[in-house]
Structure 1
Amino acid sequence: MTRAEEFEDLRPLLFSIAYRMLGSVSEAEDAVQETWLHDAASPTQATSAKAFLSAVVTRISIDVLRSARVRREEYVGQWFPEPLLTDPYEDPERSAELADSVSMAALLLLERLSPLERAVFVLRDVFGFGFPEIASAVGRSEAACRQLVVRARRHMDAGRPRFEAGHRERDELAGRFLDAFKDGDVDGVRELLAADVQLVGDSGGKAPQWGTGIFGAENVARVLAALVTPFIQLGGVVEPHEVNGQPGAIFRDRDGKVINTWALDILEGRIQTIRAVLNPDKLGHVGPVADAWAVIREANRARRPTD
C-alpha cells in the first residue's frame, strides 16, 4: 500500500479526532489536509501510520484550539459546534463512545477542558489509544497523561446528561415531535417537551436569534407554532435528519437552501433541549445557505392580515 493510500484509509479517523477536538467541520478538514502535507514532506515512513498521523493531527488541532479560544470568547451569543450530519469513522467496538462524544452536549462539555485535557480524553476515552501513543502525541509523560484524563473524565461526568439509550424510542419521539411541529399542533408539541425545555440558538450575530433562548414548555410550544405556519406557507421544508448523532432536522427554504439545523436532546421520554445552528458561516458544508433575514421578513409579511 502506498503512503497516499494509507493516508486515505486513515482520513475518516483523522477527521473524527480533529472534529471532536475543534467542534468545526471546516477546521477539522483543514487540520487533516495539513496532516497530509506534513506526512508527504516527511522523508521517512512511520512504522505505524495510524499512530504517527493521529499524533500529527492531534498536535495541529491543539494549536488551532489554543488560537480559537480568543475568538470563541469574543463570539456574539452562544457558541455551538458546527453541525455534523455524518461521522465518517466507524468502529463497532467503540460505537457507543463515538456516538456519545459527537453529540452537541458532549462537544460543549469538551469546550470546558484545556486543549491538552481535551486531546488526551478524545484519544483515550473515545478512540481507545494507549497511553504510550497519547504521550507521544501530546508531548507529555504517560503519568501526566493519566492525570490529564482523570481530570477530564471528572469534568465530563459532572456535566454529562444521560440521554435515552434506546435509539428506536428516541427517534420515534423525535418523529412525533417534528410531525406535530410541522402541523402547527401546539398541544402535540407541548406534550413532548420537558417542563424546563430550552430552545437555544447560535447565530453568531449573523442571523435571526431568540435572544438568550426560549425556556419552558408553554413558551417554546407557542413560539414554534407561531414560526411554522408562515414558514410552511412560503414553501419551507423541515427535513428530519440526524445531527451530531442525535435526532434533528435541516430547515430549507423553497429553493432548498439551508436556513438552520436542529439537534434534539431527549431524556426520559421528553425533549430537553433544542439546539439550533443559524450562523451561516457554520452551515456551508450542509449545502447552499439561505438568507435567513430575507426568509424572516417574508414570513412576517405573510403573517400580517390582508385587507
Structure 2
Amino acid sequence: MVTRAERFEQLRPLLFSIAYRVLGSVGEAEDAVQETWLRYDASPTEPTSTKSFLSAVVTRISIDVLRSARVRREEYVGPWFPEPLLADPYSDPERSAELADSLSMAALLLLERLSPLERAVFVLREVFGFGFGEVAAAVGRSEAACRQLAVRARRHMDAGRPRFEADRRAREELAERFFDAFREGEVDGLRALLAADVRLVGDGGGKAPQWSTHFAGAENVARLLAALVPPFLRIGGLVEPRPVNGEPGAVLRDRDGKVVGTWALDIVDGQVRTIRTVINPDKLGHVGPVADAWAVLRETTRVAAEAHPPRTDQVIRATPGTGVAEVG
C-alpha cells in the first residue's frame, strides 16, 4: 500500500512548480506546498484524484498569497524580479517546451501583469495542460469563466513575447561566448554579442548594490562589464555558468564561495537583449550562503582603481543605503 505521505512526495515537484510560477518566489512556493500537505494530511477522506486535489489546493493557497504579495511588490525598492531558480524539480517530456518557456525571467515578469486568477488559470491550463474542469475546480470559477480568463491571459502573454527567439543550442553557444568575453573584460567582444538597445537591470531590493537605471545600450553595458568583472575575478570572485530560470546565466560567488548574485541572459534573434541580475540577499538564500555584496563591490572597485585610475568618462560610484552602483 502506498501511504498518503508517499503519494504527496511523488507529487511535490509538480506542486512546487505550479506554486513557483504563480508566485515567482521559491520561499513562498515551498510554504504553499507545505501548507498543502498539512491540509491533505488533515483531510478525513481520500480524494478520487490526488493529483487534481493537491493541485487545486496549492493553487488556491498560491492565489491568496499572491494577492497579499502584490501590495509588498508595489512598495518594493527598485525593479522586482522573481527569485532565481537554478533547476525545476518537475519535468514532463510531453510539455517540456511549455515548462521551459514559462520558467524564464521574461515570462514570469509577463505573468506579473495578469490578475491572480488569470495567472493561475494560465499556469494550470497553458503550462501544465490541466483540463478546464480541473482548472475551474482549482480556482473556484465556472468552466466558461475559466475559458475567458485563459483567452485574456494568453492574449497578454503573446503580446509581450518577442517575435523571434533563438533555439536552445544557439542560445547556449552565444552565452558561452558572452561569458568568455565577460571574464576577459573584452569590450569589443562583449559589444558584438549585445543588442544595440540591450538593458542591464538588477534587483537589489534596497539591500544590495543595484545598477543605475540608465544602463542601456551596447557600448554602455560593455564598458561597465569590462570595468567591473576582471577586478572581481582578481579578488577571487568566481563566475559559475549555470542555467537560471531555464535561461543561460551564471552564479557569481566571492572568494569564499558565497553567492553574490545571479545573472540571467535574455537572448533574442542571436543577441543578448536583457541581462537581469538578482543581488537582493533575501532572494538568494536557497542558492547557497550569501555574500556581503557591498563589501565585494568595495574591494572590486578598489582593485579596479589601483589598476586603472578612474578617468573622467569612467567613474564607479557605490553608495550603501541607496542600493545604487553607477558607472558614468
Measured against the shorter chain, the TM-score band is over 0.9
* Letter in structure 2 aligned against 1:233: R
Instruction: Please give the alpha-carbon distance, in whole angstroms, between the structure 1 residues aligned to 2:214 and 2:99.
Output: 29
Shift of 1:299: 1.3
- 1:254 alignment counterpart: 255
Instruction: Please give the alpha-carbon distance, in whole angstroms, between the structure 1 residues aligned to 2:105 and 2:300.
Output: 29
Deviations 1:4-44 (A, max 9, x none): 11100000000000000000001000000000000000011
* Letter in structure 1 aligned against 2:78: G
Deviations 1:162-196 (A, max 9, x none): 46342111101100000001011111111000000
Instruction: Please give the alpha-carbon distance, in whole angstroms, between the structure 1 residues aligned to 2:197 and 2:165.
Output: 17
Instruction: Please give the alpha-carbon distance, in whole angstroms, between the structure 2 residues aligned to 1:303 and 1:92.
Output: 47
- 1:65 alignment counterpart: 66
Matches within 5 A, 1:231-270: 231-270=232-271
RMSD: 1.2
- 1:100 alignment counterpart: 101
| TM-score under structure 2 length normalisation | 0.92
Matched position secondary structure for 1:304? helix
State whether residues 181 and 224 of structure 1, in contact with CA within 8 Å, keep that contact through their aligned partners in structure 2.
Answer: yes
Structure 1: give runs of 5+ residues left out of the alignment. Answer: none
1:128 and 2:145 correspond: no
Deviations 1:249-280 (A, max 9, x none): 00000000000000001111110000000100
Matches within 5 A, 1:133-172: 133-162=134-163, 164-172=165-173
- 1:227 alignment counterpart: 228
Shift of 1:297: 1.1
Matched position secondary structure for 1:226? helix
- 2:20 alignment counterpart: 19
Shift of 1:229: 1.7
Identity score, percent: 78
Q: How many residue pairs are counted as aligned between the two chains?
A: 307
Instruction: Please give the alpha-carbon distance, in whole angstroms, between the structure 1 residues aligned to 2:248 and 2:19.
Output: 23
- 1:191 alignment counterpart: 192
- 1:3 alignment counterpart: 4
State whether residues 237 and 254 of structure 1, in contact with CA within 8 Å, keep that contact through their aligned partners in structure 2.
Answer: yes
Matched position secondary structure for 2:175? helix
Which one is further off, 165-174 or 189-198?
165-174
State whether residues 166 and 268 of structure 2, in contact with CA within 8 Å, keep that contact through their aligned partners in structure 1.
Answer: no
Instruction: Please give the alpha-carbon distance, in whole angstroms, between the structure 2 residues aligned to 1:213 and 1:39.
Output: 49
Matched position secondary structure for 1:246? coil
State whether residues 247 and 266 of structure 2, in contact with CA within 8 Å, keep that contact through their aligned partners in structure 1.
Answer: yes
- 1:86 alignment counterpart: 87
- 1:113 alignment counterpart: 114
| TM-score under structure 1 length normalisation | 0.98
Instruction: Please give the alpha-carbon distance, in whole angstroms, between the structure 2 residues aligned to 1:43 and 1:22.
Output: 29
State whether residues 170 and 247 of structure 1, in contact with CA within 8 Å, keep that contact through their aligned partners in structure 2.
Answer: yes
Structure 2: give runs of 5+ residues left out of the alignment. Answer: 310-328
63 and 42 in structure 1: CA distance in 2 versus 1, 3 angstrom threshold: same
36 and 163 in structure 1: CA distance in 2 versus 1, 3 angstrom threshold: farther
